[in-house]
Amino acid sequence: MYRITELANQFGLSRSTLLYYDRIGLLKPSGRSESNYRCYSPSEKERLESICSMRQAGVDIEGIRSILQTAGDDTTEVLKRRLAEIGNEISALMTKQRLIAGMLKLQGEGGPRNTVDKDMFVSMLRAAGMDDNAMRKLHAEFERKEPAAHHAFLLSLGISEKEALHIRKWSADLGRNQIMDYFYEIYEAMPRQGPGSDKATLKALSMLPSFPPDTSVLDLGCGTGSQTVALAGQLDCRITAVDNHWPFLNKLQETTKQKGLTDKIEVKEASMLELPFAPESFDLIWSEGALYIMGMEKALQSLRPLLRPCGYLVYTELTWFTENPPEEAAEFWKQGYPAMLNVEGNLELARGNGFNVIGHFPLPVEAWAEEYYLPLKHTLAQFIKRRPDDSTASEVVDQINAEIDLFVKFQDSYGYCFYMLQKKETAH
């Protein structure tokens, strides 16, 4: 028997894909373990192998269902239709091949490397007859076969690293940008985009010295700004709140107007990977649940120069609270965030990148359950109510609910931790 994560890994699939196949009746587990994990038999593994083979050949879900339901009967019509579709796809692929080969030739002959930007590339693909779906398939295939080259190619188009990362995730999700749109729709409706609480924010702030009115503060990856507003209520200085998603910043602007904080909070749309600030611009940099996007070591190295001498960096980071995490949690985060460290690992990383540790503490469970998951469940219920027959929407909700269920089960094994650091003085 195979557990769901084990079977998914054998075929290079995500756990949520098998959950989706179960929900639509395409591949159901034969039973459950004593711990209530889905278990798949060898025959179900063979069925999944057939499903993957047909998906690789381009057969859609309904076509696969039809073939599996009529196994042993005449499936000629389904296969004939697919054969005709493959002929059309081959023609389109040849056009794409000529287009990309020409671009590579231009660069190989010493042509200007920045001649083709994102807008020009998209217009060239459209001129070659590619619609949005064909472009998604192109990115998905590029990401599947050569993820590093895909990343480098996106950067060569002048796309920011943050946007490139979004495109790659979008590609890894079988090219369906609808998934990213749905995630944004859900989190735009949330008061917080991750676990946290005003109480925890102010506790972290209380562990730092008092700041004078001329203090310069940066809130990085601020989202809709719950923590920004909490900080503004305690600090008599100006805070620059940065995020790369304007709808989040727009909500924060509305909040600052309602609370009379427009003289304290300035919003700025920018990628944390391309921050438009001069060295030593800030006395305090704050970031709750966002630095993982950069990678923690890169974040520490990139943000340190932005701090003034003896400046402070405060952030929350997803952290293991045990040396031996439970298998199910470890497997989940191996796919979701493989770079997750334990507390001591994060402290060592901070010290090794030019910081002294002022303090640290784990987010309390209520910062997850009450401040984040409770409103998230309400938002998900409203979201799926508007799309009762949308399989992509259901898959997004299933993914988020799987993460919620995991935390409820293993909340003693991992969570967010606040880290308060101070920039070390450079020895002369």
In a domain, residue 181? The reply is no
My answer on whether 15 and 150 are in the same domain is no
My answer on whether 394 and 291 are in the same domain is yes
* CATH assignment of the domain containing 22: 1.10.1660.10
**How many domains is the chain built from?**
3
In a domain, residue 190? The reply is no
What phi-psi label fits residue 198: left (phi over 0), alpha (psi between -120 and 50 degrees) or beta?
alpha
Bridge partners of 278? Answer: none
Where among 17, 40, 69 does a domain terminate?
A: 69
Amino acid at 116: V
My answer on whether 414 and 271 are in the same domain is yes
pLDDT at position 226: 96
Bridge partners of 307? Answer: 282
In a domain, residue 428? The reply is no
Beta carbons of 188 and 157 less than 8 angstroms apart: no
The residue assigned the tokens 């507003």 is 229
Task: Give me the half-sphere count of Cα atoms (radius 13 Å) on the Cβ side of residue 82.
Answer: 18
My answer on whether 230 and 354 are in the same domain is yes
Please provide the DSSP assignment of 5-74 as one string: HHHHHHTT--HHHHHHHHHTTSS--SEE-TT--EEE-HHHHHHHHHHHHHHHTT--HHHHHHHHHTTTS-
In a domain, residue 80? The reply is no
Distance in angstroms (rounded) separating the CA atoms of residues 186 and 246: 15
My answer on whether 142 and 202 are in the same domain is no
In a domain, residue 192? The reply is no
- The neighbour count for residue 127, using CB atoms within 10 Å, is 10
Range(s) of the domain holding residue 31: 2-69
My answer on whether 222 and 252 are in the same domain is yes
* CATH assignment of the domain containing 370: 3.40.50.150
Where among 69, 99, 114 does a domain terminate?
A: 69
My answer on whether 224 and 370 are in the same domain is yes
In a domain, residue 94? The reply is yes
My answer on whether 206 and 350 are in the same domain is yes
Q: What is the dihedral of CA 56, 62, 66, 68, to 10 degrees?
A: 50
In a domain, residue 76? The reply is no
In a domain, residue 81? The reply is no
My answer on whether 161 and 208 are in the same domain is no
My answer on whether 303 and 381 are in the same domain is yes
My answer on whether 253 and 204 are in the same domain is yes
Instruction: Per residue of the chain (428 residues), give pLDDT as tens.
Output: 888 888 988 888 878 788 888 888 899 998 887 767 788 999 999 899 888 877 777 677 877 888 887 755 555 566 656 655 676 666 666 656 656 665 565 455 544 445 567 777 777 777 666 666 667 677 777 776 677 777 778 887 777 666 777 677 666 654 345 677 888 889 999 999 999 999 999 999 999 999 998 899 999 999 999 999 999 999 999 999 999 888 999 999 999 999 999 999 999 998 887 899 999 999 999 999 999 888 899 999 999 999 999 999 999 999 999 999 999 999 999 888 888 999 999 999 999 999 999 999 999 999 999 999 999 999 999 999 998 888 888 888 988 999 999 999 999 999 999 999 999 987 54
pLDDT at position 256: 96
My answer on whether 285 and 390 are in the same domain is yes
